């Protein structure tokens, strides 16, 4: 079985599952609720990130900033936790390896599906925010966090950068979930364990005594996405975030490979 064919089958299964489809709908709820609330507010919108989201591009960015706290990590934790543990739980993992798909190829396909799922989820949130923002507030540009004005085209280009950056961070969480998924045959346990890591990471952000650890936490650089909506672009923290994401992906994918290729598959 070729890798592309195996990937296509994996993506059809992933996007065809009702729970994943429901999860995508939940992700869309945040920009919808924000947009409608801002439109119905009679008074002048308040300050802050949400108050500035009175246009399509910024509504997309604000929605992504909010969803990185729990919704996007939860969505990718469910997908990643189910990747290997779900096959083992259903008794199909052994048959996949007999095809033969090969353990390394199968794991690579599982991770590729996590990458696609991450990008799809983030893109869907951004697209919902843009479309709804344009429908509610008109096809106008956006004001950057630095106070300068962007045309609609330039603002959409900034949103594309934010989408790519956030998707990289979500993929790093997915790599953790992939590793955890190789340790158990219970997909729910793998998903919960991955979310515990994310929750602990966010909790550690609020502890001043752990300031030495915070730059190494998987969630620490998520907020750097907002630097892509400043004028001029602030790329220092973005670069640090991408480097940390890459490190998490390499370390946990290698750990998943080391575990999976030596695992005694009985189901």
Report the pLDDT value the prediction gives residue 46, as an integer from 0 to 100. Answer: 52
Report the pLDDT value the prediction gives residue 97, as an integer from 0 to 100. Answer: 66
% of the chain at pLDDT higher than 70: 90
% of the chain at pLDDT higher than 90: 57
Entry pTM: 0.91
Mean pLDDT of the chain: 87
Q: Which structure tokens are listed for 123?
A: 């893109």
Closest C-alpha to 229, from 39, 63, 1, 11: 63
* C-alpha distance from residue 238 to each of 155, 203, 224, 235 (Å): 18, 22, 6, 5
67-105 confidence digits (pLDDT tens): 999 999 999 999 999 988 887 777 677 666 665 557 888
203-231 confidence digits (pLDDT tens): 999 898 999 999 999 999 999 999 998 88
17's enclosing H/E stretch is: none
Cβ atoms of 58 and 226 within 8 Å: the answer is no
Closest C-alpha to 81, from 44, 47, 46, 110: 110
Please compute, for residue 2, the number of CA atoms within 13 A of its CA located in the half-sphere on the CB side.
3
Confidence of residue 43 (pLDDT cuts 50, 70, 90): very low
């Amino acid at each position: 079985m070729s890798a592309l064919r195996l990937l296509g089958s994996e993506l059809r299964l992933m996007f065809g599952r009702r729970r994943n489809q429901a999860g995508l709908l939940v992700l869309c709820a945040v920009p919808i609720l924000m947009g409608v609330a801002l439109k119905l507010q009679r008074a002048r919108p308040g300050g802050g990130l949400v108050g500035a989201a009175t246009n399509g591009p910024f509504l997309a960015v604000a929605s992504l900033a909010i969803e990185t706290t729990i919704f996007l990590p939860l969505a990718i934790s469910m997908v990643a936790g189910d990747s290997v543990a779900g096959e083992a739980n259903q008794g199909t993992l052994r048959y996949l390896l007999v095809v033969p798909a090969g353990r390394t190829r199968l794991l690579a396909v599982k991770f590729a599906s996590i990458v696609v799922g991450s990008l799809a989820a983030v893109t869907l949130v951004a697209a919902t925010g843009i479309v709804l923002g344009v429908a509610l507030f008109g096809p106008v540009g956006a004001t950057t966090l630095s106070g300068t004005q962007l045309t609609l085209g330039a603002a959409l280009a900034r949103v594309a950068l934010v989408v790519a950056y956030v998707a990289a961070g979500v993929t790093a969480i997915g790599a953790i979930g992939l590793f955890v998924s190789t340790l158990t045959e219970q997909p729910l346990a793998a998903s919960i364990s991955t979310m515990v890591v994310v929750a602990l990471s966010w909790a550690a952000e609020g502890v001043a005594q752990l300031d030495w650890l915070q730059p190494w936490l998987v969630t620490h650089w998520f907020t750097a996405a907002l630097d892509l909506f400043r004028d001029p672009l602030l790329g220092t923290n973005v670069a640090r975030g991408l480097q940390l994401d890459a490190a998490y992906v390499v370390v946990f994918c290698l750990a998943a490979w080391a575990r999976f290729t030596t695992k005694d598959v009985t189901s």
